Amino acid sequence: MIRMRNKLLLLLVFLLVLSGAGQAQGSDIWNSIQKIEDNKYIINIPDAWKKVTLAEGSGMDFKFDVTGVGIPPLVNGSAMYGFYTVSKVSGKKEAQAMEQNILEFSSFYDRVTEPGYNYDTTSGTIKSGQTGKILHTRYYRRSKVSNYTRYYMVLYAPKTDETYILALNFQYKDPLYDIERTSDLTGYAKEIFAHFELR
């Protein structure tokens, strides 16, 4: 009986250690950072992210696969995917960029949203001190049989007269969108945006 209790205690300690290691993963991803340098900005990203080759004319400067890095690899037994992109347009066009982003996700013919919810906005600050507007939305797409959470940060750079769009997109299966809370996707997005810096 005592031997069995000791084995159970050891198993419990082992499970607690494993669970603690999993929770720490989100903050640990920033222990090793790579810098992607452009003439006008620097993207500081976790080493574990993978750079995605872009098709010509994609309209993006960079795209990274963040799948499994600081976010769960699985949600409800299905894969969770994540991608981060950086793009820009000439001029002071924050309002137009916000409208374009809203139009982009609103135009899906098979998009289903929660009653009374379309999107929400907040603000965030990047590493070089500038503040931008963050747009957040979530929805289900029938054709993809998946749920989506998307964050866009729209940021004007007066020095170069350009508006940047930093976008973070997640695809998973969670009809209650509980993963947003349990994995603090908003905090994750804000931390990613906070590592971007303008020269």
Mean of the pLDDT values across residues 7-20? 40
Q: For domain 32-198, is the CATH number 3.40.50.300?
A: no
pLDDT confidence of 57, banded at 50, 70, 90?
Answer: confident
pLDDT confidence of 192, banded at 50, 70, 90?
Answer: very high
pLDDT attached to residue 1: 57
Is residue 183 a contact partner of residue 72, using CB atoms and an 8 Å limit? Answer: yes
pLDDT attached to residue 27: 60
pLDDT attached to residue 174: 96
pLDDT attached to residue 28: 86
Distance CA 96, CA 65 (A): 27
Instruction: State how far the alpha carbon of 165 is from the alpha carbons of 20, 48, 162, in Å.
Output: 34, 22, 10
In the chain, where the domains are located: 1-31, 32-198
Q: Is 38 helix (H, G, I), strand (E, B) or coil?
A: coil
Residues 104-139 have pLDDT tens digits of 999 999 999 999 999 999 999 999 999 999 999 999
Among the residues of the chain, which ranges form H helices?
A: 2-28, 94-106, 178-182, 185-194
